[in-house]
Amino acid sequence: MKTLLHAFAMCQSMFCALPCPWHVWDEKARDKMLLFLPLVGLELGVLWAALAWLCGRLGVPAPVRALLLSAYPCAVTGFLHLDGFLDVTDAVRSCRDLPRRREILKDSHVGAFAVIGCVLLLLAQFALFASAPETAPFWALAPIPVVSRCCAALAVTALRPMSTSQYAAMKKPRWQLVLLSVLLLAALAGSFLLCGRYGFAAAACAAGYGLALWRGFRSLDGMNGDVSGYALTVGELCAVAVYALL
């Protein structure tokens, strides 16, 4: 039980910018850390939905509401996943050979492709939230981070990591893959039960994650945190698109 608590605290501290009162690092818990990523996603999703509800209750103007809801997913994770999106965009769009693409992936400098991709991403998020009807249920946002993080944990567990990835040394027993698959299916089913047709937003998140993952993994010939962040960002954008346009 202590190991599981340590794994949750480590996951919370690493993948969430919200204050975590319990700072701990336990190598024995490292392999179980990703199991708690969907739980962190639930926490972030509930707060995202609460922010949408609060904006509605306070009568916040639509452009300001769109700005807050667009900025939240980036800010609440400390821009961790957005950083992965930028790195992978630069690497993939460079159209260089594999060794050079991997060098670009690890380069701390921001290239033109990353800047263009980031601007388009943020503009799309803002435009979609600004276009969302006032009747769109705020609670439909809650399952989206759960699904995106179920997909992320599954991808890191199932796919071959790059040799330079922190996940390369992690043990990945088959039972974790089964458990994460069950959690993903439960999150998708729960989103339809909770949100009706707006459950398609969570389904779009999973589909968008899968397509972006296929692009990043194939181009870079391996899995790492940047590829996961790239796919997660694209997946959540797809979810927001369905949420806003239904």
Tell me what pLDDT residue 166 has: 76
**3 state DSSP class of 223:** strand
pTM of the model: 0.94
Tell me what pLDDT residue 199 has: 96
How far is 242 from 141, CA to CA, in rounded Å?
A: 11
Tell me what pLDDT residue 188 has: 97
Tokens of 69: 């809801």
Q: Which residues contact 124 (CB under 8 A, 6 or more apart)?
A: 237, 241
38-41, long-range: CB < 8 A, 24+ apart: 38/146, 38/149, 38/150, 38/153, 38/180, 38/183, 38/184, 38/187, 39/8, 39/11, 40/11, 40/12, 40/15, 40/16, 40/149, 41/145, 41/146, 41/147, 41/148, 41/149, 41/150
Q: What is the pLDDT along the chain (246 residues), one digit of tens a residue?
A: 778 888 888 899 899 998 877 778 788 888 888 999 999 999 999 999 999 999 999 999 999 999 999 999 999 999 999 999 999 999 999 989 999 999 999 998 899 999 999 999 999 999 999 999 988 999 999 999 999 999 999 999 999 998 878 777 777 778 899 999 999 999 999 999 999 999 999 999 999 999 999 999 999 999 999 999 999 999 999 999 999 998
Tokens of 1: 């039980």
How far is 70 from 60, CA to CA, in rounded Å?
A: 14
Tell me what pLDDT residue 69 has: 97
